[in-house]
Structure 1
Amino acid sequence: MTAPTTTNPAAPDPDPGEVPGPRSTVLLRRRSRLSAALLFTPGQLALATTVAVVACLLLGVTGFLAGNGQSAALHDAQRDAAQLVGTQELRNDLVSADATATNAFLVGGLEPTEARERYEASLSEAAQAVPSLAATARGAGEAADLATVSDSVQRYAGLVESARANNRQGFPVGAAYLDQASAALRDEVLPTIDEVAVSTSQRVDADMGSVSLAQALLLFVLLALVALGAVQLWLARRTHRVLNTGLAAASVALLVGGVVTVAAVLGGNGVARSVASGPYAATVATSEALSLATDAKSMESFTLIKRGSGADFEESYQTSVAAARVLLDEAEDAMSGNDVGARVPGPAEPLAEWDAKHAEIRELDDGGRWDDAVEAATATGDGSAGAAFAAFSDRAHEDVEATSKEAVDRLGSAATTTQAAAWIALVLGVAGAVAAAAGMNVRLKEYR
């Protein structure tokens, strides 16, 4: 009698050539069917249809992302550039108020009404600007810094009022109060504003860099156009028909969408670069030059207030004016050939005229004619140092206003253009996908 067969648990694994399990069998069958389908025209047409539709959607999505992303970066640059200009204007208002206060202090007794009005106007503009800048600041740190500026400005104004009251009565302690006020401004307020300006400037640079990043997505736009062109070429060779209405419509849609996207994105990047090196750079340089020159005006007054012991203030004056001249040259170079810069003469010439008047004031003071020097420093009539400085300040403010407006307007216009291009690319991409699917479906029906 034959013994029953038993299974050996130590038997070797099945040979690789044996029939696979159920799951592997399903996968193999699917792969076989797909490979077999691609050997025939209907399967190839289905694959070509998928490629054409994906290419259209790829262009639409990447075009939208590129345009929308660049538009957001341009808007950020526009906002941050305006914030930086506002911060610099705040600094200029405070320095202008200090320069007016110190210059009026030289008169002795009750300061001129015009000087008092200029001081109050500058201080009021600064006080109104702080809450607005704090509200639009990006980050709690900047808002907190600007809040401390508001408190310090109130302290500064109180010290100036004490100096003014003592000076009106002829008390020497008034000069000490004025020193404290100026020190509070330069040690507490201006450094904080400068820190905010630096961080804002860094954000503007980062925004400008983000604008150029959108160009990387244009490679996918080009890839989509190539893919659709390859499908159309393959179809023409396979079917021996030159024109497929659906694919032709999809090609037109993608071509238009691609051209619009590329033109808008490259144009937006060009605008950002030209603004950064042109009106924006000129705005920053002119505003900084105005701040330095206005600070030098304060140093001029302090040199006279100290009556023979103001050598340090005179040295600070010379340093500030020299730096202001360099900045104005940079601003002029940035706006060379620009219509905005050509509308009115720049502030460099009146700055030179005021510096020449300052040299005359120093000559009078160094020659022992202190009263004459004070009179020359506080005069505001035609041909005076005050008139020369006012002309410089007015022209600098005009330049800052014109160039900052141009920078903000151009960035805003570019942002709007790229945003519109983003939606055009998306709509045309989807429309192209529908047209491509419809056109390829006509060929598929011929094999059913």
Structure 2
Amino acid sequence: MTTPRLYWLVAIGLVVLGAVAGAAAVGEVRGRGATIGDIAEVSGPISVDAQTLYRALADADATAATGFLAADGESAELRGRYLDDIAKATAALTVALRDADDADADRLRVVADQLPVYTGLIETARSNQRLGVPLGGAYLREASGLMQQTILPAAAAVFDRTNRLLTVEHRAASAVPWAALLLTLLTGAALVAAQVLLSRRSRRTFNRGLLAASLVTVLALLWSGLALHASGRHLDTGEQDGAELVRLLANAGRASLQARANESLTLVARGGGTGFEATFAAQMDELIGRNGRSGLFARAIVQAPFTDRQLIDEARDEAVRWRELHVQVRSADDGGDWDRAVELATEPGENGLTAVFGRLDAALSRALDIGNDRVERQAARAGGSLTGLTAGLVLLTGGLVAGVVFGFRPRIGEYR
């Protein structure tokens, strides 16, 4: 093979390889940008909507059950909280149904179909309670059973799925771009080999065009590597300290709210609430373990960044205090003093069970807000890390091609 023909083949090969590497890099960056945009604008908000639905439903059930323990009827505060929860759940359900895929839509339709049944049972229970009819408690138990056995599991499945999909997108957008990386390294190696070939055949140590193309390749590799690394770090933070932590905290919130509902239902049953009490005990074990230092709260504390741990630790301490106060409630109820048990369960003082649960719920809500905000903020930072990279890679690819052309053109011209 003649030298000019060899030069032509090498030059064409370098141009094609450089263009393919550049196209792969640009495609990778654009794909990641689209995934990050989806996290910020679609998956993240959908996960928050599912979380809002999940929490509002659980809180509505706990609030309705607690309202039945008041000797003089449900307070305006509890009634307002219940109605607010139902309104939040309805709004979140509407948005979730609009954005859901087929799998989630089926679960959400279960919620949509059964929620009016639940609220109807609650209103019937309230009417009977106001009239002093004992059937009120039976309707309340039926409503809570519908909520805990049908509605909440469907909402929880939607939340778990959307949260896990969010995690999958975080990982996909922060994975190592092996194809683009290998093509870029191969291009760099090919440029070095071409310079060695020219040096031996032309007796010139350096080729300015190929040297410029090599520098362009190094610049593209460094820029894209640093930008993708920074983007990946933000996404990893959003996943570990955001999405995964939110899942733990949301489940802790669900367990605490259902435990509160079952605690109240045990008293509403007036001696017939053994099943509710057993469920309460299981949910408290899920929250803090039998020793008060394990369960969901312990896992969340390990998962959470240092700045969040105080809030979660506060919630756990309140849960431990709650279980201690619950022992007093059960002691009074099991001893035949139902009125005293109800008084302890609804005591409004700062050290009372109502205030303890309120502080637990407030700390959890705050921690959830921080986690959700972290997902959104880190996604925005990840997207910002890639700003200008697509246009830069296009220009650098053009520079590489130009360097190859200008490097080989004079050498080929020497043989004319």
Give the TM-score taking structure 2 as reference length: 0.90
Query: What residue number does 1:63 align with?
Result: 25
Query: What residue number does 1:355 align with?
Result: 323
1:241 equivalenced with 2:210 (yes/no): no
Is contact 1:56-1:432 (8 Å) kept?
yes
Q: Which residue among 302, 307, 323 is the counterpart of 1:333?
A: 302
Unpaired runs of 5+ residues, structure 2, are 289-294
- After superposition, the Cα gap between the structure-2 partners of 1:89 and 1:356, relative to the gap in structure 1 and judged at 3 Å, is farther
Query: What residue number does 2:183 align with?
Result: 220
1:126 equivalenced with 2:89 (yes/no): yes
1:145 equivalenced with 2:107 (yes/no): yes
Distance, in Å, in 2 between the alignment partners of 1:343 and 1:422 is: 41
| More off after superposition, 238-247 vs 161-170 | 238-247
Is contact 2:330-2:341 (8 Å) kept?
yes
The structural deviation recorded for 1:182 is 1.0
Is contact 1:89-1:287 (8 Å) kept?
no
Higher relative contact order (CA 8 A, sep 6+): 1
Q: Which residues of 2 match residues 280-295 of structure 1 at below 5 A? A: 280-295=243-258
Q: Which residues of 2 match residues 124-273 of structure 1 at below 5 A? A: 124-137=87-100, 139-211=101-173, 215-217=177-179, 218-273=181-236
Letter in 2 for 1:328: F
The structural deviation recorded for 1:245 is 3.1
Q: Which residues of 2 match residues 306-345 of structure 1 at below 5 A? A: 306-325=269-288, 326-337=295-306, 339-341=307-309
Is contact 2:18-2:401 (8 Å) kept?
yes
Query: What residue number does 2:392 align with?
Result: 424
Query: What residue number does 1:34 align with?
Result: none
Q: Secondary structure at the match of 2:185?
A: helix
Distance, in Å, in 1 between the alignment partners of 2:388 and 2:285 is: 46
Q: Which of structures 1 and 2 has the bigger CA Rg?
A: 1
Letter in 1 for 2:148: R
Distance, in Å, in 1 between the alignment partners of 2:388 and 2:283 is: 46
The structural deviation recorded for 1:82 is 4.0
Unpaired runs of 5+ residues, structure 1, are 1-37
Letter in 1 for 2:296: L
RMSD, aligned α-carbons:
2.3
Is contact 1:94-1:122 (8 Å) kept?
yes
The structural deviation recorded for 1:249 is 2.5
Letter in 2 for 1:58: V
Query: What residue number does 1:100 align with?
Result: 63
Distance, in Å, in 2 between the alignment partners of 1:248 and 1:370 is: 88
Query: What residue number does 1:446 align with?
Result: 414
Q: Secondary structure at the match of 1:65?
A: helix
Is contact 2:216-2:396 (8 Å) kept?
yes
Q: Secondary structure at the match of 2:73?
A: coil
Q: Which residues of 2 match residues 66-81 of structure 1 at below 5 A? A: 66-78=28-40, 79-81=42-44
1:116 equivalenced with 2:116 (yes/no): no
Query: What residue number does 1:305 align with?
Result: 268
Which digits, 9 at most, give the CA deviation of each residue in 1:339-365, with x for residues without a partner? 344678542122222222222211221
1:52 equivalenced with 2:14 (yes/no): yes
Distance, in Å, in 2 between the alignment partners of 1:272 and 1:336 is: 15
Is contact 1:257-1:425 (8 Å) kept?
yes
- After superposition, the Cα gap between the structure-2 partners of 1:243 and 1:346, relative to the gap in structure 1 and judged at 3 Å, is farther
Q: Which residue among 402, 409, 412 is the counterpart of 1:434?
A: 402
Which digits, 9 at most, give the CA deviation of each residue in 1:301-337, with x for residues without a partner? 0111111121111111111111122111111101144
